[in-house]
Amino acid sequence: MPRKTSDGHVDIEARKAFDELSAKFDNLRESLSDVAEAVTDYGTAQSQWAAERASGSATDALDQARDASRKHGRQVTAQAGELKAQADDFVSRQPQLALGIAAGAGFLVGLWAARR
The pLDDT of residue 17 is 86
Per-residue pLDDT 10s for the chain (116 aa) are 555 555 556 678 888 888 888 998 888 899 989 999 999 999 899 988 888 888 888 888 888 888 889 998 889 898 988 988 888 888 888 888 888 888 888 888 888 888 87
Q: What does the domain layout of the chain look like in residue ranges?
A: 12-115
DSSP string, 84-106: HHHHHHHHHH-HHHHHHHHHHHH
The pLDDT of residue 7 is 57
- Please state, in angstroms and as integers, the Cα–Cα distance from residue 59 to each residue in 50, 63, 83, following that order: 14, 6, 36
Residue 10's beta-bridge partner residues? 4
What's the CA gap between 1 and 10, in Å, rounded?
A: 10
Rounded (10°) CA dihedral 7, 10, 12, 16: 160
